[in-house]
Amino acid sequence: MPASIADVTQWLESQTDKELVITKHEDDDIDETVIRLARIERTGERRDALDDYTNGAALVLRGNGTVVTEGREAPLPNDAFEIPLEGLSLTETAESAALLVTERARYSIKIRA
């Protein structure tokens, strides 16, 4: 049976204080983020968002981290990684990984070894 967003949230909460590697596949772009998960939040629809990419419901992973884009590392902005939930079509969890697929991107989350 596929996991629900509640299952993914519960899996993420069980990973607090661990380093996670998040790989985001969007179109032909692949970004990787490493975050030491401090906490997870779920936001509802926001009318005050700066763009449409972040105006809907989302999971927000909070913690220190780095983003690797096109081979360059940078600090994770605002110590937060946001996963928009609009168009969520698939969620899966396993012992050491979770997967979320939305209409815009595929997010693979693994515990860093």
What average pLDDT score do residues 33-50 get? 81
pLDDT in tens, 84-95: 998 999 999 999
Q: What CA–CA distance (Å, rounded) separates 69 from 71?
A: 5
What pLDDT does 1 receive? 44
Q: What CA–CA distance (Å, rounded) separates 64 from 80?
A: 8
CA distances from 35 to 4, 25, 44, 96 (A): 23, 17, 23, 15
pLDDT in tens, 56-104: 789 999 999 999 887 889 999 999 999 999 899 999 999 999 999 999 9
Q: What is the set of domains in the chain, with CATH numbers? A: 5-111 (2.70.180)
Indicate the pTM of the whole model.
Answer: 0.87
